[in-house]
Structure 1
Amino acid sequence: MPMTPRTSPLLTREELDAQLGGAARAWLDGALAEAEHAASHEPCEQPGGPYAVPSWELRYAAAGRYCGLEHADSVRALLLVEAHAALPALTRLYEQGTAAERRAVLLALHRLDLGPTALPLVEDALRTNDTRLVAAAVGPYAAAHLDAHNWRHAILKCLFTGVPVAAVDQLARRSRGDAELARMLGDFAAERIAAGRSVPADLTRVLDLTVPGPAAPTEES
C-alpha cells in the first residue's frame, strides 16, 4: 500500500550538521566532496563504452543507511545540487532507485538548472499510485513547468490518491480563474456521488480557488 507522504522540508547543510552525529557528518563531508569533484570533471559516460558509476551516485543510494532515514531526502538533495546533476544522472537514479530515492530526485528538481527537460520524471511519478511520489511530483518544479492540461490532471491525481492538496506548490496561483479545472472538479465530484462515494474535502477547497480575479481565496493569505 502507498505510504502517507511526508511533508518535512529539506534541511540545509547547516541544519543537517546540527542534527547528525560525528560519524554521519564525516560521511556527508566525504559524499559532498565526491559530488563536488564529479561536477568539475567530464562525465564518465562514453558512447558505446563501459559506464563507471560515479562514487557520489553510490553515496546517494546509501544516504539513509549512514545519515538516517529521516535525513535521507535532505542529504540526497544536497548531493544532487553539489554534483550539478544533469538529466542523464537524474534519470538513472530515478529509474534504478527505490521509491525513497525517486522521491528525493523529484524533491530536488527545482534546485537544479534543468528547464523543462525533467518533466518526464514528474509525469512518470504522477502515473503511479505511490502517494510519496505523487506528493513530491507536485512541488515547485511542477508548478513552474507543467502545462495547464497536465497540471490539472495532477490535481485530480492528488484528490484520487488522497494526497493533501497542501502539497501542491502554487496551488492558489495556478487554480485562480481556471474554468476548465472547475469543470473537471465538478465532473469528478459527480462521478464520486454517483458511485456512492464521498467527495474529498480538498476538492471543495480547490474549487473555491478557481474563482476568477484577485479576490479569490489564496493559500498564502
Structure 2
Amino acid sequence: MLTSREELDAELGEAARAWLDVALAEAADDATRSGAAADASRTAASPYASPSWELRYAAAGRHCGQRHADSVRSLLLVEARAPLASVTRLYDQGTAAERRAVLLTLHLLDLGDTALPLVEDALRANDTRLVAAAVGPYAAEHLAPHAWRHAVLKCLFTEVPVAAVARLADRARGDTELARMLTDFAAERTAAGRPVPEDLRTALALTAPAGHPAPPTAAPAPTEES
C-alpha cells in the first residue's frame, strides 16, 4: 500500500527526509521546466536522456528503506508528472521492485491507455508481486474485456488473491464470458483431482447479474464423512 508524504515524514529519519526533499524538488523542477508539451518533444528527440530524479528513483530503497521504497518512488513519479518515456524507461531498466512501483502509480499519471504495454508485460511474468500490481486501478480503467478476464485468471493461476484486482465486482458483474472461463477452469481442476480455489468461487459469484444467484462451479468435493 502506498503511503502519503505526511506519513513518510512521520516515519523516516532525518537523513532520509532530507534526501526525499531534494529528490522531490528535482522531480518538480523537471516537471516545471519541461511541461507536458515540452516533455513530449524532449523525450521524442532524446529518448535515452534521463533526468536526475530518475537516478533518485532507483536509489529510493537505499536511502529511505525498502519498506518505504514503493511510496517514495510513486511520489517521485507523480511530482515529476512522469511522461510515458520516463515510466517506460524506469520499467524496462528497473528491478522487480522498481517495476512494481511504476505499476502501482500508473493510475495517478496522465497517460491515458498508453502505458498498457507495461501492464501486459507484467501479466506475462510469473512474479506475483508484478501480477498483483498490474491488476490495480490502471488495469481496471484501461484493460480491454478480453485481456482483463485473462488477468483475473492469471491471478488464480499464480495464487495472487483476487482481492488485488481493482474494481473486480464492477467489471465482473454480468460478465457471462468470465463466468464461462472460470467455470471451465473449475471443471479442469476438479477433473484433475485438485481443489477449486475459494478465490475462484468468489470471482464466479461476482459474475452473476444483480439479483441473480451465482452460477455453479463443479460438484462440491466429498467431505471426510462421505
Alignment of 1:1-221 (within 5 A): 9-42=1-34, 43=39, 45=43, 47=45, 51-213=48-210
Give the whole-Å Cα distance in 2 for the aligned partners of 1:177 and 1:168: 17
Give the whole-Å Cα distance in 1 for the aligned partners of 2:59 and 2:188: 44
Unaligned runs of 5+ in 2: 215-226
RMSD: 1.6
**Residue 112 (structure 1) shift:** 0.5
**Residue 215 (structure 1) shift:** 6.6
**Residue 199 (structure 1) shift:** 1.5
Unaligned runs of 5+ in 1: 1-8
Give the whole-Å Cα distance in 2 for the aligned partners of 1:61 and 1:51: 16
Task: Tell me the percent identity.
Answer: 72
**Residue 46 (structure 1) shift:** 6.8
Question: Is the 1:210–1:216 contact (alpha carbons within 8 Å) kept by the matching residues of 2?
Answer: no
Q: TM-score, normalised by structure 1?
A: 0.90
Structure 1 residues 155, 46: closer, same or farther in 2, change over 3 A? closer
The structure whose RCO (Cα within 8 Å, separation 6+) is larger is: 1
Structure 1 residues 216, 193: closer, same or farther in 2, change over 3 A? closer
Structure 1 residues 25, 31: closer, same or farther in 2, change over 3 A? same
Question: Is the 2:43–2:85 contact (alpha carbons within 8 Å) kept by the matching residues of 1?
Answer: no
Give the whole-Å Cα distance in 2 for the aligned partners of 1:46 and 1:144: 26
Classify the secondary structure of the residue corresponding to 1:116: coil
**Residue 200 (structure 1) shift:** 1.1
Larger radius of gyration: 2
**Residue 50 (structure 1) shift:** 8.7
Structure 1 residues 46, 115: closer, same or farther in 2, change over 3 A? closer
Matched letter for residue 128 of structure 2: T
The count of aligned residue pairs is 208
**Residue 189 (structure 1) shift:** 1.0
